[in-house]
Amino acid sequence: MLSIVKVPVFQILGFILLSSFLYSQALVRRHTFVVENTPYTRLCSTKNILTVNGQFPGPTLYVNKGDTMIVDVYNKANYNITIHWHGVKQPRNPWSDGPEYITQCPIRSGERFSQKIILSDEEGTLWWHAHSDWSRATVHGAVVIYPNHSKGSGYPFPKPHADVPIIFSEWWKKDIVEVYNEFRRTGIDPNISDAYTINGQPGHLYPCSKSDTYKLTVDQDKTYLLRLINAAVEDILFFAIANHQLTVVGTDGSYTKPFKTDYITISPGQTIDVLLQTNQPPSHYYMAARVYSSADGVDFDNTTTTALLQYNIGNNSTTPPSNPTLPYLPFYNDTKASVNFTGKLRSLANEDHPIHVPVNISSKLIFTVSVNTFPCANDSCLGPTRLSASMNNISFSLPSTDILKAYYNNISGVYGSQFPSKPPLVFNFTAEDPPTYLNTPKKGTEVKVVKYNSTVEIVLQGTNLLAGTDHPMHLHGYSFYVVGWGFGNFDKEKDPLGYNLVDPPLQNTIAVPKNGWAAIRFKASNPGVWFMHCHLDRHQTWGMDMAFIVKNGQGPDAQMLPPPSYMPSC
């Protein structure tokens, strides 16, 4: 017999509210990363590469906005390793940020380190990668951050039919450790890669690669969210899909005003989210990526990687034609095409996605970014000089213990706090032939100390010392508003008049244009030690780096968290 139980309305409402509250709470997700050597075959030969869980690219991590991840990293490889969570702000928790000798000592072979990754307002696509020597060539993967629907903050566009990470990277036939060691020994540019890859595969245009080309199977008349990540070690890339326009909707874990484009420009370290409408006749279409290189006289990999977009017909995919259509891609040195794309990025800046651009600036900084040389002592390289790089004429030297530990424990002699607020040498930064005596910087491990909650503006000024080129600059622990950019020398009187303070894009990586400048702003509300560097790894290795120390504020929520019970030792 069916019985009916009367339940008071307030109990029902209470249950609903409790369920909603529990669902809206951020989750703690646990993952295991095993770093190990794994054999992979590409370009007709097999070699061991460093992987996470045997995968190249590594595993994609799926989270919701505001979640926390605990990642247990086991190093079973023969080399030291660290893992960085690119674009995750890690509020008050620099201990798990990952850059070697900045926030931690490396995880030695046979050791384990549990990293706590705290997500806050990031939403969209970020990624993780190794942050020691050049291991990130193969040790990298996507982080997909879904909106927290329980808080009414879904996508600012119609929900896509599916979302797909697309990771660009590079492949060397040689062991990347050999490439790195030879680069350090010779003092010259590194050997260029032998191929670019899309989701780990070079594609049809390379030898021994056609059968394993990455294929994305789609249904007609659907919308797909492609999460593009440039994990390449050395190169900015152009990307396009034949016969398909793309709609840009996000970058670096933040949404943007949508705009349509035939191609995208993506810097190392950067992510771009695009919507793909599968509105073409069912067939196969090439996705393709190749280099954008603005430096004169510098070798680069001038090959093209491809993947296939294949349409379903009923329960079957279309039969590929012998020669699918290739997309149009800008020429390798088309600076206009590059900046035309990046110049269209704008924040949503609406009620659901407000922005908070600092207006009253308390700390104005100007940092030059330069390629330099050092003399070679005792024939220690191939020539009389070796290549180097600098910020504000200081070529950064990694210490032998991490800066964060030294700062937290008041250990002296590890770093200095005299990183200059402006260039110590003032000259025509973008002159065609700057004096050669300017080529040699100083060496040092200097940091810039800023007060908690100070409002910071940094003008990143490119120079033409030795070789002018684009510099994709990445700041750990923060996203920043790109309020302006231009070519030539920054004019502190005129150029700020053209700043975009209404809807500037919110990014964590910005490509400073060749012989130009970019202005960024952020509020220093995340205490800790935070690395800033060029994401072209040769430039980072040469010394185009620095670190910020953001001091603690008042109250427990404005202070660094204490270190975990175990940190790797040096």
Q: Could you report the per-residue pLDDT of 148-185, keeping only the tens digit for each?
A: 865 555 899 999 999 999 999 999 999 999 999 999 99
The residue ranges of every structural domain in the chain are: 23-151, 162-342, 363-558
- pLDDT bucket at 401, cuts 50 / 70 / 90: very high
Given a cut of 90, whether residue 3 has pLDDT beyond it is no
CATH number of 363-558: 2.60.40.420
375: exposed, middle or buried (C-beta count within 10 Å: 0-12, 13-18, 19+)?
exposed
pLDDT in tens, 99-139: 999 999 999 999 999 999 999 999 999 999 999 999 999 99
Cα separation, 232 vs 397, whole angstroms: 23
Same fold, 23-151 and 363-558: yes
Residue range 69-75: mean pLDDT, rounded:
99
Helices (H), 160-241: 176-186
Given a cut of 50, whether residue 19 has pLDDT beyond it is no
Q: Compare 274 and 317 and report the one with higher pLDDT.
A: 274
The pLDDT value given to residue 318? 64
CATH number of 162-342: 2.60.40.420
- pLDDT bucket at 314, cuts 50 / 70 / 90: confident
pLDDT in tens, 497-520: 999 999 999 999 999 999 999 999
Residue range 461-480: mean pLDDT, rounded:
96
Exposure string over 399-432, b if 16+ CB within 10 A, otherwise e: bebbbbbbbbeeeeebbeeebbeebeeeeebbee
Q: Compare 17 and 501 and report the one with higher pLDDT.
A: 501
Q: What fold, for 23-151?
A: Immunoglobulin-like (2.60.40)
Q: Which of 279, 447, 299 is nearest to 387 (CA)?
A: 299
Residue range 291-303: mean pLDDT, rounded:
93
Residue range 304-313: mean pLDDT, rounded:
95
